[in-house]
């Protein structure tokens, strides 16, 4: 079974600074997807970024980028130029390839961006 | 934009009541999911459905059942609500091999 670990329950960062959220996972699969979701205080979960395991290039979406280390089973999220609107819970998630099944979510990291 | 609508944002029920949580998606997605979210535990899958009338148990199905009579609607049923089912419930949908889209969540309190 797959597991996803986020070792930082809470983090804070000053506005305009850069912060990195950690995620590790355990799987015997060779092809899979990884995701970061954001859940602001308003509650709706929003997809931030996705990475396909067969792609070596790290995904980037504007201020959000990942450091995907397949051998180490690590998938960290870097937020550059942090903004107050980035304050949220962040969940790392794993999905097997070609399965119509669920994701496996990590326990989440609560990020606070301080003015 | 994909829209996943959960019927209630807040719900208060009493122990022993039968509770229905409704979820509707407007993008003809095959897969739909029900999760509960508790502090420190992340999201845990209760049930999912990959087609009409098809369902599979997730990690914590005890005390819950589901219904999917139409593709766009996935209902979660608490047969006899208990206080340990007080939680945030999230519905999600997605097409195959694509990310999930979530509803706003229902905060359910069982008194």
Provide, rounded to the nearest whole percent, the portion of chain B with pLDDT above 70. 99
| Token pair in block for residue B56 | 């599979």
In terms of DSSP bridges, do strands B42-51 and B31-38 run parallel, antiparallel, or are they unpaired? antiparallel
pLDDT > 70? residue A100: no
Determine which of B1, B4, B43, B98 to mutate to test the interface with A (most A C-beta atoms within 10 Å).
Answer: B43
Among candidates A44, A50, A100 on the partner chain, residue whose Cβ is nearest the Cβ of B50:
A100
Q: What is the pLDDT of residues A88-97, one digit of tens each?
A: 999 999 987 6
pLDDT at A101: 61
| Token pair in block for residue B79 | 């047969």
Q: What is the pLDDT of residues A12-69, one digit of tens each?
A: 999 999 999 999 999 888 888 999 999 998 778 999 999 988 888 999 999 999 999 9
| Token pair in block for residue A94 | 């794993």
The DSSP bridge partners found for residue B10 are B107
Q: What is the pLDDT of residues B66-110, one digit of tens each?
A: 999 999 999 999 999 999 999 999 999 988 777 889 999 999 999
**CA-to-CA dists, residue B110 to A3, B11, B18, B41, B82, angstroms:** 30, 8, 11, 19, 6
DSSP letters, A31-51, are SEEEEEEEE-TT---EEEEEE
DSSP letters, A52-76, are ETT--SPPEETTEEEEEETTTTEEE
Q: Does B62 touch chain A (CB under 8 A)?
A: no
DSSP 3-state of B64:
strand
Q: Average pLDDT over chain B, rounded to whole?
A: 92
């Amino acid at each position: 079974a797959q597991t996803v670990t986020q070792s930082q329950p809470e983090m804070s960062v000053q506005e305009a600074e850069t912060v990195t959220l950690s995620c590790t996972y355990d799987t015997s699969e060779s092809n899979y997807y990884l995701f970061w979701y954001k859940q602001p205080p308003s509650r709706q979960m929003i997809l931030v970024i996705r990475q396909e395991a067969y792609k070596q290039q790290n995904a980037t979406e504007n201020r959000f980028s990942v450091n995907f280390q397949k051998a180490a089973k690590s998938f960290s999220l870097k937020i550059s130029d942090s903004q107050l609107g980035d304050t949220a819970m962040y969940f790392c998630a794993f999905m097997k390839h070609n399965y119509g099944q669920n994701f496996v979510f990590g326990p989440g990291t609560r990020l606070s961006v301080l003015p | 934009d994909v829209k996943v609508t959960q019927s209630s944002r807040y719900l208060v029920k009493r122990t022993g009541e039968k509770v229905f949580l409704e979820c509707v998606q407007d993008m003809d997605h095959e897969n739909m999911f029900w999760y509960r979210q508790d502090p420190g535990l992340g999201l845990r899958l209760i049930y999912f459905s990959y087609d009409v009338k098809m369902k599979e148990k997730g990690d914590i199905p005890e005390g819950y059942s589901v219904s999917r009579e139409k593709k766009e609607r996935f209902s979660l049923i608490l047969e006899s609500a208990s206080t340990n089912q007080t939680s945030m419930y999230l519905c999600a949908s997605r097409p195959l091999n694509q990310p999930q889209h979530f509803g706003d969540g229902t905060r359910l309190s069982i008194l």
